[in-house]
């Protein structure tokens, strides 16, 4: 059986910006696959190439064994795509919008009403389907968007940041719906920068950073690679680099410490990977005391996907988000300066 999605050595640049440098992964039929990474990592460009919305510079992209590049129309019939931004005509009712979607996919007229009733029932939209979409809440708009993506019974449903801006109740409703889809055999590709979302939903994960897949596997496999527990330590609220380096040197000598990373973006805090043992915190604090350094804050926890990202890149996902935002702001300022000269 062919993979539901196959992407090999995908590359895409916009001018001198390499949005996707070299992305490869495959998704098996009937699984939820998570593409995790910060904004600007290349997630959206990757799925736009998959969904025939952007032509890659090079690489192999297939859906259910069909080449997206050679047979884009056939590939589209097997894909459902729900973009990050919900775009609905506020004048149309939910039913009218789905009828329009059905016409765009050239669905057989005798089947349209049945299909609309099916997706409406699946997503709990029966009460709202004949109301204008301009009256919908954010959660209802997202559910209608999902219904549009499912109307033609795709093999693969692609979701770009599906719960951004939703309240907790709406997010949980979307999560439960995606689990039901998986049970029915639909393959789901979901991009997100919400760690808990990917951890809760995905059977397998690919972590993408700066246009490259840096690791992949099940959430448990990725966490096991980190090994042991995580200790987050602050010597001071904002520690000098010299003190952080001094602490790192001392802590690396402890027998139960496997790795120490200095997180400069968070006040030179230290992130430790340690063997799982009850006295690890005491041992760390004593080691700092022995070299004359204080403990401003300390906590021990099990590994998370953010720990996996930190171990692979030397920065947390939040740090990467802030870095991407800062870079975008600088580019915007430069463009404004150039426009004013």
At 250, give phi and psi (nearest 5°). Answer: -70, -40
SS3 12: strand
What's the confidence (pLDDT) of residue 335? 54
Which residue has tokens 């604090």? 285
Sheet architecture: strand order including 257-263: 257-263, 269-274, 229-234, 297-301
CA distance 129 to 120: 7
Which tokens sit at 155?
A: 């093999």
At 240, give phi and psi (nearest 5°). Answer: -65, 150
What's the confidence (pLDDT) of residue 309? 81
Chain segment 183-226, per-residue pLDDT in tens: 989 999 999 878 888 888 999 999 998 899 999 999 888 888 77
Q: Is 36 exposed, middle or buried (0-12, 13-18, 19+ CB in 10 A)?
A: buried
Residue 51, Cα to own-chain centre: how many angstroms?
Answer: 17
Specify whether domain 228-302 bears CATH 3.30.70.100. Answer: yes
What top-level class would CATH report for the domain 5-222? alpha beta
Which tokens sit at 198?
A: 């990917």
Least Cα distance to 105 among 70, 154, 167 occurs for 154
What's the confidence (pLDDT) of residue 262? 93
Least Cα distance to 48 among 64, 65, 35, 31 occurs for 35
Which residue has tokens 């590994």? 303
What's the confidence (pLDDT) of residue 328? 56
CA distance 131 to 112: 19
CA distance 195 to 321: 13
| Average pLDDT per 10 consecutive residues for the chain, totaling 341 residues | 93 92 95 90 92 94 95 93 82 94 90 92 91 90 90 92 82 87 92 85 92 91 81 93 96 93 91 84 95 94 81 76 62 54 52
What's the confidence (pLDDT) of residue 332? 54
What's the confidence (pLDDT) of residue 327? 55
Please state the domain extents for the chain: 5-222, 228-302
């Amino acid at each position: 059986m062919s993979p539901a999605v196959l992407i090999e050595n995908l590359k895409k640049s916009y001018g001198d910006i390499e949005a996707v440098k070299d992305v490869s992964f495959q998704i098996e039929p009937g699984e939820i696959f998570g593409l995790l990474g910060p904004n600007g990592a290349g997630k959206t460009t990757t799925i736009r190439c998959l969904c025939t919305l952007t032509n890659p510079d090079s690489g192999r992209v297939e859906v259910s064994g069909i080449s997206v590049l050679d047979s884009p129309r056939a590939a589209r019939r097997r894909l459902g795509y729900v973009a990050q931004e919900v775009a609905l005509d506020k004048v149309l009712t939910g039913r009218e919008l789905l009828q329009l979607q059905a016409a765009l996919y050239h669905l057989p007229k005798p089947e349209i009403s049945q299909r609309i009733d099916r997706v409406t029932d699946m997503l709990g939209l029966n009460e709202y389907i004949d109301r204008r979409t301009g009256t919908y809440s954010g959660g209802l708009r997202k559910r209608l968007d999902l219904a549009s993506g499912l109307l033609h019974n795709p093999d693969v449903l692609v979701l770009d940041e599906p719960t951004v801006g939703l309240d907790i109740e709406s997010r949980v409703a979307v999560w439960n719906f995606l689990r039901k889809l998986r049970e029915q055999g639909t393959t789901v590709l979901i991009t997100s920068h919400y760690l808990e979302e990917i951890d809760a939903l995905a059977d397998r994960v690919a972590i993408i950073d700066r246009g490259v897949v840096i690791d992949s596997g099940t959430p448990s496999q990725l966490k096991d690679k980190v090994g042991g527990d995580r200790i987050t330590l602050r010597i001071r609220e904002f520690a000098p680099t010299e003190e952080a380096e001094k602490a790192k040197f001392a802590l690396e000598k402890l027998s139960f410490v496997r790795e120490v990373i200095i997180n400069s973006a968070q006040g030179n805090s230290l992130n430790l990977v340690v063997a799982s043992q009850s006295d690890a915190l005491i041992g760390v604090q004593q080691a700092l005391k022995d070299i004359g350094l204080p403990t401003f804050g300390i906590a021990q926890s099990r590994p998370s996907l953010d720990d996996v990202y930190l171990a692979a890149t030397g920065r947390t996902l939040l740090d990467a988000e802030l870095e991407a935002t800062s870079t975008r702001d600088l580019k915007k300022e430069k463009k404004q300066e150039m426009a004013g000269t």
